[in-house]
Structure 1
Amino acid sequence: MTLLGRLLKNRRAGETHTAWNLPNLQGTDQLTLTSQDFGAGATMPLKSCAKQIGGADLSPHLTWTPLPPGTAQLLLVVEDIDVPLPKPAVHCLALIDPSAAEHLEPGALSARQPGPGVRILRSTIGRGYHGPAPIKGHGPHRYVFELFALSTPVDSAATTTPIDRARPRTFLSTVTTPVLGRGRLTGVYER
């Protein structure tokens, strides 16, 4: 695996195609997203990494600054922007009811037992939180946690595919509700 990582060293998805840069998810107010488990730009703990590399696939604690008035729903996107693919891999996609959750406890993004007010959607890898498991020797991977405060619930938007079955990139492109604020936190992991 180390050889593969070295061969793909210069291939990285980058930020161009992240949810953060989609025209429909732009917002003016900035939220501050933090975690008790890691700081901005710091190494994510092993417990938040994938089981196949010795982690527990436990989504990290997340908290955010007060939401803009009129926030009806939160959209959380977790992306690996250093994966050697044309677009970042979505490690988790969730809708959060801000009246039920003022923060997320560790494990709240579990597909089997999501936290209060958390609705898990389909990601690139499956459902629920999937922790870092970068290719050995590929170098550090950045995992970007992006939080968007939406003015109306996504459920009320007209879509051709039910949101629970939509592919992540398709779903993200169909979000048309105004973004009242957004924030992001980046964690790093390398093998």
Structure 2
Amino acid sequence: MTKSGELPKRRRAGHAGLAWNSPNLAGEQTLALSSPDFGNEGAIPAVHASTRVGGEDLSPALTWSSAPGGTAQLLLVVEDPDAPTPMPFVHCVALLDPSVTGLAHGALGAGSPSDGVRVLRSGIGSGYFGPAPPKSHGPHRYVFQLFALATPVTTSSSRALESAKPRDVLAAAGDVLARGRLDGFYQRT
């Protein structure tokens, strides 16, 4: 039994709820997604963590292979499946022009996204929100997922796409031509 206000160390959202595992976001082809800031399964540098935990909320630089022909839009989703929540915590959702093949540091900032980047609502506000796992909760996996979509994302709700809940945006996406994934870890002690 835990004391009031403490998080159970074993409580995690789990990988099943990741966008990657959504049937509507399955794709046959692969996009090679990478970052010069950390390797797949590597540690995410502190500068990319949330300002709440001493970082700068600076989105990492990302690069990927060219999207296949017929791509209308790219969807980038960053999630934490180790969050002590019912579903993975969404750290970023962005729509990208299909001609974009990389993002510079900070390109996912809500106040100044790069050309060809449309940042949407995440779990907290909009734009990139860096890792901020609970203290002493162990390492958290941050899953950067990129989907090449054959049709642009539109939502059926009356709210604008920028204010739509992340899960509504993910549910509205489909016709995935290719996808890529990059996992990084961050831990607070």
One fold, TM greater than 0.5? yes
Aligned residues: 185
Q: Aligned partners of 1:158 and 1:138: how far apart in 2?
A: 35
Please, which runs of 5 or more residues in structure 2 have no aligned partner? none
Whether the 8 Å contact between 2:80 and 2:141 is mirrored in structure 1 is yes
Shift of the alpha carbon at 1:162?
2.4
Q: Which runs of 4 or more aligned residues in structure 1 lie more than 3 Å from their structure 2 counterparts after TM superposition?
A: 3-7
Correspondence for 2:178: 181
Correspondence for 2:75: 75
Please, which runs of 5 or more residues in structure 1 have no aligned partner? none
Q: How does 1:123-134 map to 2 (within 5 A)?
A: 123-134=122-133
State the TM-score, normalizing by the size of structure 2: 0.93
One-letter identity of the residue aligned with 1:181: A
One-letter identity of the residue aligned with 1:173: A
Provide the identity percentage. Answer: 56
Q: C-alpha deviations, 1:86-121, integer Å up to 9, x for none?
A: 10000000000022x220000000000001100000
Q: Aligned partners of 1:64 and 1:28: how far apart in 2?
A: 16
Q: How does 1:146-161 map to 2 (within 5 A)?
A: 146-154=145-153, 157=154, 159-160=156-157, 161=159
Q: Is 1:19 the counterpart of 2:19 in the alignment?
A: yes
State the TM-score, normalizing by the size of structure 1: 0.92
Q: Is 1:135 the counterpart of 2:123 in the alignment?
A: no
Whether the 8 Å contact between 1:18 and 1:81 is mirrored in structure 2 is yes
Q: C-alpha deviations, 1:125-173, integer Å up to 9, x for none?
A: 110100001111100000000000011222xx45123211111112211
Q: C-alpha deviations, 1:13-41, integer Å up to 9, x for none?
A: 11111111111111111111000000001
Correspondence for 1:84: 84
Correspondence for 1:62: 62
Q: Aligned partners of 2:155 and 2:106: how far apart in 1?
A: 31
One-letter identity of the residue aligned with 2:24: N
